[in-house]
């Protein structure tokens, strides 16, 4: 079938083009939304700039096809052959389907955030500056792939093969690489905070200076690895192999080393303040000076007036409180592990993160949500109120909830959907 015939049929309402022969056709910038090209042959076709939103290219042959800058959001891709295809700059957000062949494909600057591509073959693929945040790449083969400057934050790379891959300056914060293969990998990422490297062989690797705080390194093999000046605060190193590892000047405060093998490890000037040692006992902090603390008993009274409108949600008209007042700055849904918003379009998850952040600050101040007497909720869109309120009500019982105001604003920092500030009394 030639391009003109396909476009005519598509314009007349046809969407099913399964198993058609379209090799070499020119469909540059064609509008092919929801087209079904299952098992079609598009070898060396030109689809640059085409709109393939929600298209089905499962089992299709797109070898050497030009898909530069194509819109392929939510495309169905199961078992597609895209070897040597040019997908640079393509939008593949939400693409779905595993076991694809993308060997030697060019995906430079492509957007694959949230894509579901498990068990795909990306051997020798180029993914320079690609956005793979929150993508499912479990069991993928990325042997010799170039992932320089790529965004893999929150991505699932469990059991992936990254042998000889280049991860220079990549963002791997909160990424899951459990059980992955990193032999001969150029592992020089710029961000790794909160990464999951459980069961990964990292023996002999140079990880010096990396921020691995709150990371999962359980059962990892770090024998003879260089972790000098690494930040491993609150990291889990349970049952890790750290024999002869260099941990000089490393920050291991509050880290969990239960069952870890640290025989021959260099712990010179390492900070083990409140770390759980291999024997399961917590290392006590050294107190250099005595501090005294004065406490004030907090009292809290719910104010209700029948002369004012009754509350219609998890809040009260007013709270009378005495004690030490804590004024909390407004919290937006930044994940503290990476200082970024993981779910930019999900009000429910953003509200959960905001409240988690508030709880963390309150805990540090010796308080909890039960001490909150006033909240102010800022919403980017008041249409999100119900979803926000559903989460909020899980944390604040209507009978004792703090006074609350809710305001719609034009914009919030980091383009967040919600921000909450509060006042607490202890």
Residues with Cβ within 8 Å of residue 406, at least 6 apart in sequence: 376, 377, 378, 379, 382, 385
Q: Is residue 372 part of a domain?
A: yes
Residue 247 CA to residue 227 CA, distance in Å, equals 5
Q: Quick one: pLDDT at residue 332? A: 95
Range of the structural domain that residue 344 is part of? 299-425
**Token pair for 385:** 């109120």
DSSP-assigned states of every residue in 68-137:
TT-B-TT-B-TT-B-TT-B-TT-B-TT-B-SS-B-TT-B-TT-B-TT-B-TT-B-TT-B-TT-B-TT-B-
Here the CATH number for the domain that contains residue 405 is 3.30.1330.40
CB atoms within 10 A of CB 5: 12
Find all residues with CB under 8 Å of 309, minimum gap 6, and list them. none
Task: Indicate the burial class of 194 (C-beta count within 10 angstroms; 0-12, 13-18, 19 or more).
Answer: buried
Count of C-beta atoms within a 10 Å radius of residue 169 = 15
Q: What is the pLDDT of residue 367?
A: 84
Could you tell me if residue 90 is inside a domain?
A: no
Q: Residue 99, class by beta-carbon neighbours within 10 Å (0-12 exposed, 13-18 middle, 19+ buried)?
A: middle
- What is the model's pLDDT at position 297? 60
Task: Give the pLDDT confidence score for residue 62 in this predicted structure.
Answer: 97
Total length of the chain: 426
- Residue at 79 is within a domain: no
| Measured distance CA(183)–CA(74) in Å, rounded | 33
Specify the pLDDT at position 294: 45
Any domain includes 39 = no
Report yes or no on 341 lying in a domain. yes
pLDDT digits (tens), the chain, 426 positions: 999 999 999 999 999 999 999 999 999 999 999 999 999 999 999 999 999 999 999 999 999 999 999 999 999 999 999 999 999 999 999 999 999 999 999 999 999 999 999 999 999 999 999 999 999 999 999 999 999 999 999 999 999 999 999 999 999 999 999 999 999 999 999 999 999 999 999 999 999 999 999 999 999 999 999 999 999 999 999 999 999 999 999 999 999 999 999 999 999 999 999 899 999 988 865 443 333 344 456 666 777 777 777 776 777 777 677 788 888 889 999 988 878 898 899 999 999 999 999 998 888 888 889 889 999 999 999 999 999 999 999 998 887 889 999 999 999 999 999 999 999 888
Closest CA to 1 of 27, 20, 19: 20
Global confidence as pTM: 0.69
Please tell me the total count of domains within the chain. 1
Pairing outcome for strands 372-379 and 403-408: parallel
With CA atoms as reference, report the closest residue to 353 among 333, 381, 337: 333
Quick check: is 92 in a domain? no
Q: Return the bridge partners of 71, or none.
A: 51, 91
Pairwise CA distance, residues 400 & 323, whole Å: 17
**Burial zone of 200 (CB within 10 Å; 0-12 exposed, 13-18 middle, 19+ buried):** buried
Largest CA distance in the chain: 85
- 60 falls within a domain: no
Name all contacts of 275-279 with Cβ < 8 Å and 24+ positions apart: none
355 falls within a domain: yes
């Amino acid at each position: 079938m030639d391009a003109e015939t396909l476009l005519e049929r598509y314009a007349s309402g046809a969407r099913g083009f399964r198993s058609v022969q379209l090799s070499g056709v020119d469909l540059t910038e064609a509008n092919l939304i929801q087209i079904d090209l299952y098992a079609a042959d598009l070898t060396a076709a030109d689809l640059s700039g085409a709109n393939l939103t929600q298209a089905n290219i499962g089992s299709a042959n797109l070898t050497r096809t030009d898909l530069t800058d194509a819109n392929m959001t939510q495309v169905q891709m199961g078992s597609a052959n895209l070897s040597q295809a040019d997908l640079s700059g393509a939008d593949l957000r939400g693409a779905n389907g595993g076991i694809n062949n993308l060997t030697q494909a060019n995906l430079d600057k492509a957007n694959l955030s949230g894509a579901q591509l498990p068990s795909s073959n990306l051997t020798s693929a180029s993914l320079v500056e690609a956005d793979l945040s929150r993508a499912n790449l479990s069991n993928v083969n990325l042997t010799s792939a170039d992932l320089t400057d790529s965004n893999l934050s929150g991505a699932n790379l469990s059991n992936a093969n990254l042998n000889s891959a280049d991860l220079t300056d990549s963002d791997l914060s909160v990424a899951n690489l459990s059980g992955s293969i990193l032999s001969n990998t150029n592992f020089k990422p710029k961000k790794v905070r909160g990464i999951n490297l459980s069961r990964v062989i990292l023996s002999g690797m140079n990880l010096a200076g990396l921020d691995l705080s709150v990371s999962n390194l359980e059962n990892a093999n770090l024998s003879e690895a260089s972790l000098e000046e690494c930040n491993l605060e609150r990291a889990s190193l349970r049952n890790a192999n750290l024999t002869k590892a260099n941990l000089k000047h490393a920050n291991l405060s509050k880290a969990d080393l239960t069952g870890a093998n640290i025989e021959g490890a260099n712990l010179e000037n390492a900070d083990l303040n409140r770390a759980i040692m291999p024997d399961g006992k917590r290392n006590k902090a050294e107190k250099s000076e005595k501090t005294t603390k004065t406490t004030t008993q907090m009292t809290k009274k719910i104010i209700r007036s029948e002369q004012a409108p009754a509350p219609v949600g998890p809040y009260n008209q007013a709270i009378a409180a005495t004690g030490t007042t804590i004024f909390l700055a407004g919290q937006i849904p930044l994940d503290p592990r990476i200082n970024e918003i993981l779910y930019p379009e999900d009000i429910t998850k953003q509200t959960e993160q905001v409240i988690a952040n508030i709880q963390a600050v309150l805990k540090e101040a010796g308080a909890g949500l039960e001490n909150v007497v006033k909240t102010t909720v800022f919403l980017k869109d008041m249409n999100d109120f119900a979803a926000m309120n559903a989460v909020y009500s899980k944390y604040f019982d209507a009978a004792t909830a703090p006074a609350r105001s809710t305001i719609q604003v034009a914009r919030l920092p980091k383009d967040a959907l919600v921000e909450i500030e509060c006042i607490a009394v202890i």
